[in-house]
Amino acid sequence: MNDLKNRFKELIFTLASIPSPSGEERAILEYLTGRLAQTGLPLRKQRIPDRFYNLIINEDPKHKLLITTHVDTVPPWLGIFPPRIKNDLLEGLGVCDAKAGVAIMLMLLEERLRRGKAIPATFAFVVDEEREGQGSALLAREKLPPYAVVLEPTDLKIAIAEGGSVEFEIRVRGKAAHGSCIPQGDNAIERAIELVSKLKRLSFLYSEHPLVGPGGLNVERFSGGDGELRVPDLCILEIDFRILPGQDTQEVIEEIKSVLDEIPYVHYVVKDISEPFAIPAESPLVQKMCQAYQKALGEEPELSGMPSWTDAAHLFAAGVEPVVFGPGDLAKCHTPEEEIELSDVVEAFSVLDTLLDIFAEEG
């Protein structure tokens, strides 16, 4: 156990020390290509226009399982870089989301080869998850196995549902005036604040999914004014509205638009739409995951939902049944508090190693 933990410590630290924000994955891909080539397993680069390439290894049309994660991170200014080691804890940008997942996949391949064990799964390392998801979108066009495990931080819970979202960019207009002549102007920032209050009263936001949790909205950007002595005449907002499994995406969008369309000084565009999904607890993959978890860790797993969009959404849309699983606390990712416990990484590795044993036994 300690040997495995130390090897993960070194590997995750190495991976997280290679900058790989979305659109700048070249260095991490070169490292992975060199390391994967040493396995002797068939390795393919799947080219993505303007986004480098995915790495797909150990493909076989007989495989029923895909294991995948992303190699990119959010921009460095959102976290600590370079990473730090504190005993059995690693801190820093990407150590959890998702370099721990990359490390687990590498170790699964290398350890099973070293032990002479079968690897009955295709592995895919994809790019661009943190920006536009082009890596998994292109991967989903391939002929893929029917089941997938997507490695993301779920605190070792098995996520069988995932929230979707719709993102709006909204421009709120006002009327400029000298800052001492407040009545002669219309403050765009104040109008934007009132608009957010209205949007928070939308009915779909108050639904709750038993696994994913409550709905809600997140104001991701709020920009207005220039600090000069004048009434601001423009405020720009970007708002992400969560969509829960079971909610109709188009109905949600229409409900949002019904508020925006009635205000003449508001203009907007829909920037992004991500569909939610859920798979049944009776799915063969879910049952095998639960079996592997219980066998590897000696306790029953907890089924959960993933509140955030992941690459699993593109796989589900392509007809693959995915679960999301991995070590770490999602809430700390994309922040300076991002961290990963090595004991959790080893446990996740053990579960997936056991899962591969189960698939190997089925032939």
User: Amino acid identity of 203?
Assistant: S
Q: What is the pLDDT of residues 18-67, one digit of tens each?
A: 999 999 999 999 999 999 999 999 999 999 987 799 999 999 999 999 99
Q: What is the pLDDT of residues 67-95, one digit of tens each?
A: 999 999 999 999 999 999 998 999 999 99
DSSP characters for 232-259?
A: --EEEEEEEEEE-TTS-HHHHHHHHHHH
| Residues 6+ positions from 32 with CB-CB distance below 8 Å | 55, 71, 102, 106, 125
Decide: helix, strand or coil at residue 205.
helix
Burial of residue 171 (number of CB atoms within 10 Å: 0-12, 13-18, 19+): middle
Q: Strand 53-57 to strand 122-126: parallel, antiparallel, or no bridges (unpaired)?
A: antiparallel
Reply yes or no on domain 164-274 having CATH 3.30.70.360: yes
Give backbone dihedrals phi and psi of 78, rounded to 5 degrees, phi first: -85, -10
- Closest by CA to 84, choosing from 69, 73, 94, is 94
Q: Kindly report the CATH class assigned to 2-162+277-362.
A: alpha beta
Given a contact cutoff of 8 angstroms between Cβ atoms, the answer to whether 59 and 127 are in contact is: no
pLDDT, mean over the chain = 97
**What is the pTM assigned to this prediction?**
0.93
Instruction: Domain ranges for the chain, please list them.
Output: 2-162+277-362, 164-274
